[in-house]
A and B are shown apart, each in its own frame.
Chain A
Amino acid sequence: MGKRKAIEQIVKRQKRLRNTERVESKTEKSGDKEKWTNKQRVLIFASRGVSFLARHLASDLRTLMPHARADSKLDKAKGFFEINEICEMRNCNKCIFFEARKRDMYLWTSNTPHGPSAKFLIENIHTLAELKMTGNCLRGSRPILSFDPEFDNLPHYQILKELFTQMFGTPKLHPRSQPFIDHVFTFSIADDRIWFRNYQIIEEDGSLTEIGPRFVLNPIKIFRGSFGGPMLYENPKYVSPNQYRAQLKKNAGLRFKNKVESQMGHQVRKMKDTYNIDPLDEIFTTIKPEDAKGQEKLTYYRRKRSHPKDTGEKIAAAL
């Protein structure tokens, strides 16, 4: 197939993009030379009580990944085993699930029938709608997935790398995908966390702009089964946000406690007499008339006449 013919075919397919279900059936029937073989379908949904950021992030991911499906909010009371069934019903083999707990957001990624699953704490979410990220890409175009070299060093990172590749990579010739490759997903490891970025490729020489969304994943646990099963890996450096908040409060309380204790200690240690003075030492101290001050001066200057008030008091005292 020459390039021109390919473009023509693409344009034709593009016109039918409005009704995607029709397109799906047609590509399977029409007998194209190349068929869509890598059947990945991701179910992206959230639990009840997620904040607007998570909801918008979920919808952004669904926009960027044409092989993603949406589902209604899950009532957490049902538990995680339900999720596997829901995925099976929707014929999905991967799942991204946003869970909200208190003020924190957790992300579960899983390979649904039997495969491994991972739980992350998701932080620093920025959605597509942010005006500071100026790039744009075709809706449903295939991304280049770029991984940090750290991903090859440790086994748990290798598992995560494989999971992300299968999940975020758009399958080739997916009916809703666009044939051009114009953006890059970046997964980097820094500070024991996984940072996700999405860049648009402007020129072939490598100039990029950021499209969004952005988020940071802090791995918590990796399980052998989907949403359960034996635990393969636990992140020793992970501090749950509850613990973190409790620690902050404790530190604040500790500061106050230290202050009170130091004050009490000061009171205990403080001496009433700075040094011992024998009161008898003062009897024979002689002060020179030049150095006398205040009451002591009176010893050198006596009144010539006695004051009538004085005599009155003396008489009263005598009586």
Chain B
Amino acid sequence: MHPLTHVAIKISMEENTLDVREENEEDSNSESYSSESDVETEVTNRQLQDAFADGLLQPGLNFIDKPVKECANDVGSMKDILQEFTQNIDWIERLDVTCGPVHPPGMTEEEKNEEFDVEDYFKRELRFYRQAQAAALETLPKLNKMDVQTRRPEDYFAEMAKSDVQMKKIREKLLKRQMSLDKSEKAKKLREMRKFGKKVQQEVLHARQKEKTEMTRRVKNISKGKMQETGEELKKQQEKGKRRNQDPKGKNPNNPLTKKVNKKREYKNSKFGFGGKTRRMKFNDKDSHGAEEDGFDARRNQQSFSKQRMKKGGFKKGKGGGFKKGQGTAAGGIKKPGMKKGRPGKNKRKTMKSRRK
């Protein structure tokens, strides 16, 4: 035996015997080696000498192993119980299918049997996706044969698991992401084109387009009678425009066209600021606070002023040192004429609301 083979000893104090477990150097990564420098169970030299004499110990590095926990695994009774509580019903009632993931046509045998790494998010999710795909591909033809509907007809409107509001949010998020991607792509393209001087061409085209729109606008204004028809005026306008745009360093803060914009400052203002564009964005409005889902109707829940005052002065229901139900003006005690109890509960209100709709 190689002198450096690691041997692990399990010493049980009750029986005073030694259980020796040999380990190769390969599985020296087990927990028993890591933090056992402080020996929890005392091993006397005498015991070690005896063990060596008996031939249980080999020369080399010996570790004391942690006692292996006995875990229950009652296969027999598990099988019995499985028999007991398994339902013998048709497959159509259960709709379960056991299948491995679908493999794309190009995969080799090796790749198919490869153990996938759980930490690799993409691969893991892809594997689950493929398993679901395999299940779907197996069951849907079966169901179609049994004349079970799998496709929802276009005019079938029913309640969905996620509400419309939720789906709207999801769609908006996707759109936003798409737009930002497009913008960044555009910006990249522009940068490329600038290198090759195509921007000049674009500018010329753009300027022409602008001129055209300006002309049409002026013509419109003239035809409407807002502007006077003078050729000079047009010339002046053109010159003004020229001078306006000649400020390459952006030093004139009064000229909105050539003012230098600090994009970082603008972004920070939009995110953290309270004025300007964000004047009204930091407060809740109808869309943001989810009123559609809750369905709080201010009109219905209005109370007369006197009742509101009574309610404020009343005690909290249930809590606060053991008040009896009949005492004081309890919050739940406000009774509207014609109602048996106080305000109906949440579920009742929901059903009432849906019934009204």
A residues within 8 Å of B by Cβ?
3, 6-7, 10-11, 14, 17-19, 37-38, 63-64, 111, 115-116, 128-129, 131, 134, 136-140, 142-149, 151-152, 155-156, 158-159, 161-162, 165-166, 169, 171-172, 178-182, 184, 186, 188, 190-191, 195, 197, 199, 201, 204-206, 208, 210-211, 222, 224, 230-236, 250-251, 254
CA distance A195 to B101 in the complex (A): 14
Instruction: Say yes or no: A18 contacts B147, CB within 8 Å.
Output: no
> How far is the CB of A186 from the nearest CB of chain B, in Å?
5
* Residues of chain B contacted by A166 (CB below 8 angstroms): 87
Determine if B309 is an interface residue (Cβ-Cβ < 8 Å). Answer: no
Evaluate contact between A144 and B161: CB separation under 8 angstroms.
Answer: no
For the complex, count residues of B whose C-beta is within 8 A of A: 65
The answer to whether A136 and B162 touch (CB under 8 A), given A18-B355, A116-B81, A236-B71, is: yes
Q: Which residues of B contact A7 (CB under 8 A)?
A: 149, 153, 156
* Bound Cα distance from A310 to B10, whole angstroms: 81
> What's the least CB distance linking A192 to chain B, in Å?
10
Per the bound structure, the CA–CA distance linking A235 and B71 in Å amounts to: 7
Report the nearest B residue to A151, measured CB to CB.
B98
User: Number of residue pairs across A and B with beta carbons under 8 Å?
Assistant: 197
Which residues, 62 to 110 on B, are CB-close (under 8 Å) to A? Answer: 69, 71-75, 77-79, 81-82, 84-87, 89, 92-100, 102
Chain B residues 139 to 156 lying within 8 A of chain A, measured CB to CB, are: 139-140, 143, 147-153, 156
At the interface, yes or no: B56 with Cβ under 8 Å from chain A?
no
Contacts of B158 in A (CB 8 A): 14, 17, 138-139, 178
In the bound complex, what is the Cα–Cα distance between A131 and B241 (angstroms)?
Answer: 47
Query: Inside 8 A of B274's CB, which chain A residues have their CB?
Result: none
Residue of B72, B98, B137, B143 near A148 (CB, 8 A) is B98
A18 touches B35 (CB 8 A): no
Residues of A contacting B79 with CB < 8 Å?
155
B52 located at the interface, meaning its Cβ lies under 8 Å from any Cβ of chain A in the complex: no
14 contacts between A and B (CB under 8 A): A6-B149, A38-B87, A134-B170, A134-B174, A138-B152, A145-B94, A155-B79, A179-B148, A181-B143, A182-B150, A184-B136, A204-B150, A206-B102, A233-B73
Question: In the complex, which of the residues B87, B95, B102 has the most CB atoms of chain A within 10 Å of its own CB atom?
Answer: B95
What is the CB-to-nearest-CB distance from A168 to chain B, in angstroms, rounded to a whole number? 9
C-alpha spacing A172/B146, complex, angstroms: 14
Complex: how many Å from CA A139 to CA B96? 19
Chain B residues within 8 Å of A115, by CB? 81, 84-85
Chain B residues within an 8 Å CB radius of A171: 93
A155 touches B78 (CB 8 A): yes
Nearest-CB residue, chain B, relative to A191:
B118
Give the residues in chain A near B118, CB-CB below 8 Å.
190-191
Given contacts A134-B170, A146-B134, A206-B133, are A63 and B96 in contact (CB under 8 A)?
Answer: no
Alpha-carbon separation in the docked complex, A231 to B156 (Å): 48
**Interface check B351, CB cutoff 8 A:** yes
Q: How far is the CB of A117 from chain B (nearest CB, A)?
A: 11
Residues of chain A with a CB closer than 8 A to B143's CB: 181
Q: Is the CB of B148 within 8 A of A181?
A: yes
Contact string against A for B residues 155-192, beta-carbon threshold 8 Å, 1 for contact and 0 otherwise: 01011111000110110011000000000000000000
